[in-house]
Amino acid sequence: MKPSPSLLSPDNHALVLIDFEGQMGFATKSIALSELRTNTAIIAGASKIFNVPTVVTTVTEQTFSGPVFPEIEEFYPHETSGYIDRTSMNTWEDEAAYNAIVAKGKKKLVMAGLWTSVCIVFPALSALEEGYTVYVITDACGDVSTEAHERSIQRMVQAGVIPITSIQYLLELQRDWSRQESYVAVTNLIKKYGGSYGIGIHYAHNMLKH
């Protein structure tokens, strides 16, 4: 009856959201930007619902990469969330970002961001070397080409990174629909950002009223 220790729970990991910024999104070709934005909203919303320790980091926000996606701002407003801006492409090599992640005290790290081949591969491999278990939400990452994204995922998996997806992340945190304290927030998030799955829940909720 005990769940696998490899499953994510709200209190056993930290989420690191990396470089979800306009300039990075403009060149992303491996996934439609509209899909990337909704997947980003799902994972940011999930982490907020379940109070997951979360670090939002940007790269040269003011001078090049621009503001974060509105879907990040919705759940982690700039003025209250303390985004960590970097010049280093590798989040793990930035002292402030590294210290913020380590300070969360979690040995499991979940990462997502742009681009997969640089801003995700670099910190993911670096964290593995320091003994962290690293998960990457692959459909909340993107790159300049499908080839770049897929080879990067392949490289990380070969090194020991665990790939997951955005809806999987959300449902792994919920785990049981009888958990009423998060049920409404989770289903509302899915209805808003979950595409056809969200429409299905919207339909079911309305039909069950009759």
Q: Which two tokens stand for residue 99?
A: 């210290």
Rounded-to-integer distance, Cα 73 and Cα 116, Å: 21
Report which secondary-structure segment, H or E, holds 123: helix 121-129
What residue ranges in the chain does DSSP mark as E strands?
Answer: 14-18, 54-59, 84-86, 108-113, 133-137, 162-164
Rounded-to-integer distance, Cα 100 and Cα 186, Å: 27
Catalytic residue among 18, 68, 114, 119: 119
- Cβ 84 vs Cβ 57: under 8 Å: yes
* Length of the chain measured in residues: 210
Residue 119 annotated to the active site: yes
Helix 180-193 and helix 195-207, axial crossing angle in degrees, nearest 10 = 120
Distance in Å from the first CA to the final CA of the chain:
36
3-state DSSP assignment of residue 115: coil
Strand partners, 21: 68
Rounded-to-integer distance, Cα 192 and Cα 178, Å: 21
Q: Name the residues annotated as catalytic.
A: 119
